[in-house]
Structure 1
Amino acid sequence: MSVEEILTRDFATLPEVIHEQAKERPDQDVLVDARRTLSYAGLDALMDRIAAALQRDGVANKDVAAVCATTSVEYGATFLGILRAGAAVAPLAPSSTPESLVMMLNDSGAKVFFLDKGVADALAGVADQIKARRVALDGSDAGLAFESWLAPEGAKPAPVSVEPNQAFNIIYSSGTTGTPKGIVQPHAMRWGQIRRGVYPAGSVTMVSTPLYSNTTLVSFLPTVSNGGTAVLMPKFDAEQFLKLSEKHRATHAMLVPVQYRRIMERPDFDSYDLSSYVMKFSTSAPFSPEVKADVLKRWPGGLIEYYGMTEGGGSCGLVAHEHPDKLHTVGRPLPGHDIRLIDENGKEVPQGEIGEVVGRSGAMMVGYHNQPGKTAEAEWYSPDGLRFIRTGDVGRFDEDGFLTLMDRKKDMIISGGFNIYPSDLEAELATHPAVLESAVVGVPSEKWGETPVAFVVLRQGKSATADEIMAYVNGKVGKTQRLADLMLVDTLPRSHIGKILKRDLRDGYKGKALA
């Protein structure tokens, strides 16, 4: 069966498609990093050796193997080889605390743990708590060397039968603060993403976010399944990204908003030949209309912003190059996606009113691994019994059906009984000529319960005092919205995919005592 025929099926698996790609385009590069390049034939053979070694080590269909390492060709091949064995992949963030990594490893039930020296060094104090067999992807002493661990060349794994609702991967929602939740995404969910056809054969995709992130996987997986080439960056650097894009004639990229901003800020941006680009994507964090407009103006190819969750549910897409008047939105629901807004009592709100975003589609998590209570909290059922996933985001649909996000529900500030949306204040801060970026959080107040405080990063070469900026904003907003304090900071704390960590700002606030 040809690749084209497989991709028309209602369900197939990623390893099946790659096997057929290896027959149709054996010599085409599929995985590229700074050290080595792997062809489709080479990837298919390596996946077989990985899967056979996993089965040799007792990893059966529906078991789990974990990966925690820097992005590399070996990482990409291992992720795919685990799938060929019928096991689910638990990709873990190296930035997690050692205690969180141990918790995630044990929670996932991983039988084999692929890592590198950097992760092994971080885990030195808790290594005795790791039950899984350790394999070092970088050939270090972090575990059994990858090349030694592999099954012999030519080895073939025992065939496995994979069901649509079987776990494809378990992505943990947090590894730095709080208790991580394992989001179980099924094969059917990933198959739907692969079949979108956004990354056609011959695509060259820049992969500059970590492979343990769902943001990356929704770009990486369709690229390698559909006959493209993935150029892997171990760590994002704006200059290196531009150089690699030019060198490899990149056609596609998935970037988070902060990466776009850093790229567009480079004074030499216009000197790079980016004419090969067909489409660029963004997701995971708020994307300022100003940066979107700059990308559309100066970077060849289209721009699409996706809004959704790792848990799945409903997603929206903003085809920015077709709707330059809607850059303040995250677009309209994708085909087959049902997005609704509900109030605090779980009732749908009328069009034009603000509510929590809930969504439903063919791409939905099975649930949180070993946490049925948390799974139930994340679900909302419509009056006719349809299952939706709650996002925790607050938004509003306009008259054209475009969704404007306000804030995370948990980030909304209730001050003296009034709802204050941090995004409104951040939008006003963005109009000050000295402000590069900002984040507004609610902090405790004896008088109001909560009150807004802003954290501001200044533009390079610009100067302004905190009092000047605060007076500027407070003169433009309503009395109940006024900032109680403003702190100038060098940077804002961010997650590995660029989300501002507002919890860190709230917890670390050491400003004035607020009455």
Structure 2
Amino acid sequence: MEPTIYSRFKELVNNDPDHPAVIDERTCVTYAGLDRLVDTLISRFPSFIPARVGIVMDHSVEMVAALMAVIKSGAAFVAVEPDFPPGRLVTFLVENGVDFVITQEQHACILNDFNRLIIGSDIYVDPALHPLPDRSRADRPAYIIYSTTPDGYPLGVAVGNSQVTHFAEAFRQTYNISGDDIMLQFSACVMNIFIQEVFGALLNGAVVAIPSPQTRNDPEKLVKFIDDQYLTVISGFPYLMQELNAVAALPVTVRLLISSGDVLHAAAISHLLEQVPVYTTYGPPEATVSVTSYCCNTGLVLPDGTFPIGKPMNGTEIMILDDELREVPQGQEGEICLYGDGLADYYTGDHRADLKPFVTIGDGRRVFRTGDIGRQLSDGNYVYLHRKDSEVNILGKKVVTGEVERALRKSDEVEGCTVVHYPDEQGSAYLVAYVVPKTKSFRLSWVKNTMAQYLPAYMIPEFFVLLKSLPTDAAGVVNPLALPVVLKDGKTAI
């Protein structure tokens, strides 16, 4: 029988029950202890056999137990950060039809409209509780991760148990992950790198180490946490690599850095390359975390100062196709398209029909069109060039400018608008909003307050430019080349 996330985890519980599994700044739990916590949570589920379960929790031992409990119950978890704007959070949970939400007391008030399981840090684990049946199946979704359509509407990506176990095995083989490793859990749960940090570790016998939000947001405290907990593997977005690059020296236990979520600039890791192996990866949520891997220490720096994204690593293959879905010759630009075992099962949400990137090509293969433009180098490595649409990464998080524009238009202060992204001198993206005000009494504070009801802080543009009208081309479409460019030097601390 093909393994599931839980069955693979249970093997490790049986093999080494007393090995640490998850550490946070309050406590540590072993593999056996985490398994008992999983059964305890399932015994409290308000729905006997759920299909989808929301998780709105601070990152902690209890959150990881909740993820695994949902999977063991045969359901798929829908995890959302508690600091998501309430309207955005509720919409995503409602559109995915969660049976109930697992949360903590401090977040329960924003979930009054849902059936809730509220848990604390003092969960009583009954030693007399018998192990509950494992209802997980390899062909069922394990989680639904947040995404958006090109127009900025919420969308869920359903990823199966089998895709995650396949990825975890490829992750082990590529980076030699073992029980000797302690891996940092840094990313938000709405990002696919979160899956790598949790299940890339737990399905390979390693330890997941979770810093508090205060530690995560302070580089000095984060480095101390890495040192104190003897971390060996750090994965994160390029901006985290840039922060670590500014540190005098990494703790001696760190053996590996993995950058994901966006292209990696050589300048962001110049000091790190002297200390440890640094890899950059590529992969959308629809491909279960990372598709490719590239070692920067012995690699090529491209003319634009970035690294290639590497070669496929986890059973998902790459083709570069033209608009007619024909493979282009090596070296030519085209759309990065993926096929193989790692592809997601389907989309969820009210706007899933708006997005049809899965196609069948002539030989019958199911192919995912990423919307990314790239090419293949002569050595077989791939290069990411740019997006076809309005998607951009801000602080490692996916942002669709169409969604920002829709939030802007909700303000009574705005007559018209467009949002554009530019790179700063360090290559990091930032947003500029060009606004045609409705009245002369335009107040930016009112506009930002309205946007904050629908968008997290990182999606609100750094700069706002008032215009009498938006420049358009002959077809009446906004011409971005005619907009005044707002420059940023890239020196602002993240």
Aligned to 2:346: 367
What are the superposed Cα offsets for residues 450-470 of structure 1, whole Å, 9 maximum, x if unpaired?
5557xxxxxxxxxxxxxxxxx
Shift of 1:442: 10
Matched, 1:76 2:64: yes
Greater shift after overlay, 206-215 or 357-366?
206-215
Distance 1:66 1:181, change over 3 A: same
SS of the equivalent of 1:156 reads coil
Cα distance between partner residues in 1 of 2:236 and 2:391: 27
Q: Secondary structure at the match of 2:221?
A: helix
1:34 aligned partner: 25
Contact 1:171 1:183 survives alignment (8 Å)? yes
Helix, strand or coil for the counterpart of 1:406? Answer: strand
> What residue in structure 1 maps to residue 472 of structure 2?
446
Alignment of 1:233-248 (within 5 A): 233-235=211-213, 236=216, 237-248=218-229
Q: Which runs of 5+ in 2 are unaligned?
A: 393-419, 435-469
Q: 1:131 deviation in Å?
A: 3.2
Kindly indicate whether residue 257 of structure 2 is the aligned counterpart of residue 280 of structure 1. Answer: yes
After TM superposition, give the deviation of residue 153 of structure 1 in Å: 3.8
2:14 to 13, 23, 26: 23
| Shift, 1:104, TM fit | 2.0
Post-superposition shift, 1:23? 3.0
Contact in 2 for aligned 1:45/1:154 (Cα 8 Å): no
Q: Relative to structure 1, is the Cα distance of residues 78 and 46 closer, same or farther in structure 2, using a 3 angstrom cutoff? A: same
Confirm whether residue 214 of structure 1 aligns to residue 195 of structure 2. Answer: no
Q: Deviations over 1:199-227 (max 9, x none)?
A: 21221111111234321111211211221
Partner in structure 1 of residue 406 of structure 2: none
**Cα pair distance change 1:172/1:394, threshold 3 Å:** same
Give how far 1:189 is off.
Answer: 0.3
Q: Check the 8 A contact 1:359/1:390 in 2, yes or no.
A: yes
2:35 matched to 1:59?
no
Over 3 Å counting, the alpha-carbon distance change for 1:83 and 1:379 in structure 2 is same
Q: Which structure exhibits the higher relative contact order, with contacts defined as CA atoms closer than 8 Å and separated by 6 or more residues? A: 2
CA distance in 1, matches of 2:281, 2:307: 13
Q: Distance in 1 between matches of 2:62 and 2:24?
A: 10
Q: 1:88 aligns with which of 61, 68, 76?
A: 76
Separation in 2, partners of 1:447, 1:104:
36
Aligned residue among 187, 195, 200 for 2:169: 195
> Structure 1 residues 207 and 332, CA, compared in 2 at 3 Å: closer, same or farther?
same
- Give the structure 1 partner of residue 445 of structure 2: none
Distance 1:162 1:69, change over 3 A: closer
Structure 1 residue 486, shift from structure 2 partner: 2.4
Change (3 A) 1:337 1:105: closer
Q: Who is 1:184 aligned against? A: 158
- Counterpart in 2 of 1:406? 385
Name the SS of the counterpart of 1:131 in structure 2.
coil
Residue 335 to residue 370, structure 1, CA distance change in 2 (3 Å): closer
SS in structure 2 of the partner of residue 202 of structure 1? coil
The offset of 1:360, in angstroms, is 1.0
Kept after mapping to 2: 8 A contact 1:315/1:334 = yes
* Aligned-partner SS, 2:235: strand
Which amino acid in the other structure matches residue 244 of structure 1? F
- The answer on 1:390 being equivalent to 2:369 is yes
Indicate which of 321, 325, 344 corresponds to 1:342. 321
Q: 1:293 aligns with which of 270, 292, 297?
A: 270
Note the C-alpha offset of 1:376.
6.2
Aligned to 1:464: none
Check the 8 A contact 1:70/1:210 in 2, yes or no: no
4+ runs deviating over 6 angstroms: 440-443, 489-493
Q: Which residue of 2 aligns with 1:509?
A: none
Q: How far apart are the structure 2 equivalents of 1:53 and 1:450?
A: 54
For residues 341 and 382 of structure 1, the distance between their equivalents in structure 2, rounded to whole angstroms, comes to 13
Query: For residues 82-231 of structure 1, what are the structure 2 equivalents within 5 Å?
Result: 82-121=70-109, 123=110, 127-128=111-112, 130-132=113-115, 134-138=116-120, 147=123, 152-156=126-130, 158-174=132-148, 178-196=152-170, 197=172, 198=175, 199-231=177-209
Quote how far apart the aligned CAs of 1:377 are.
0.8
> 1:68: Cα distance to partner?
1.0
Match of 2:291 in 1: 315
CA distance in structure 2 between the partners assigned to 1:483 and 1:352 by the alignment: 33
Name the SS of the counterpart of 1:173 in structure 2. strand
Aligned residue number for residue 457 of structure 1: none
Cα distance in 1 for residues equivalent to 2:349 and 2:144: 11
1:304 aligns with 2:279: yes
Does 1:47 pair with 2:30?
no
Stretches of structure 1 that go unaligned for 5 or more consecutive residues are 1-9, 140-145, 414-421, 454-481, 499-515
Q: Residue 87 of structure 1: CA displacement? A: 1.6
C-alpha spacing 1:304/1:11, structure 2 compared with 1 (3 Å): farther
For the residue of structure 1 that corresponds to 2:193, the secondary structure is: helix
C-alpha distance in 2 between matches for 1:335 and 1:170: 20
Measured in 2, the distance between the counterparts of 1:436 and 1:408 equals 15
1:250 maps to 231
Q: 8 Å contact 1:52–1:151 — kept in the other structure?
A: no
Distance, in Å, in 2 between the alignment partners of 1:486 and 1:73 is 43
Q: For 2:248, what is the secondary structure of its paired residue? A: helix
Change (3 A) 1:492 1:325: closer
SS of alignment partner, residue 311 of structure 1: helix
Q: Report the counterpart of residue 467 of structure 1 in structure 2.
A: none
Q: Is the 8 A contact 1:52 1:85 kept in 2?
A: no
* Residues 98 and 260 (structure 1), Cα distance of their counterparts in 2 relative to 1, 3 Å cut: same
CA distance in 2, matches of 1:328, 1:450: 32
Question: Contact 1:83–1:89 (CA<8 Å) still a contact in 2?
Answer: yes
Give the structure with the higher percent helix.
1
Amino acid at match of 1:23: N
Given that 2:300 and 2:307 are in contact with CA atoms closer than 8 Å, whether structure 1 keeps it comes out as no
Do the aligned residues in 2 keep the contact of 1:339 with 1:359 (CA within 8 Å)? yes
User: After superposition, what is the alpha-carbon deviation per residue over 1:319-350, rounded to whole angstroms, capped at 9, x for unaligned?
Assistant: 22232446521112336332122233333322
Distance 1:25 1:74 in 2: 21
Distance 2:317 2:293 in 1: 13
Contact 2:23 2:209 in 1 (8 A): yes
User: Is contact 1:411–1:441 with CA below 8 Å preserved after alignment?
Assistant: no
What is the CA–CA distance in structure 1 between the aligned matches of 2:86 and 2:391, rounded to whole Å? 32
CA distance in 2, matches of 1:335, 1:44: 27
Structure-to-structure mapping, 1:447-486, within 5 angstroms: 447=473, 451-452=479-480, 484-486=484-486
Call closer, same or farther: CA 1:404–1:439 in 2, change over 3 Å: farther
Structure 2 CA distance, aligned partners of 1:394 and 1:295?
28
Cα deviation, residue 82, structure 1: 1.5
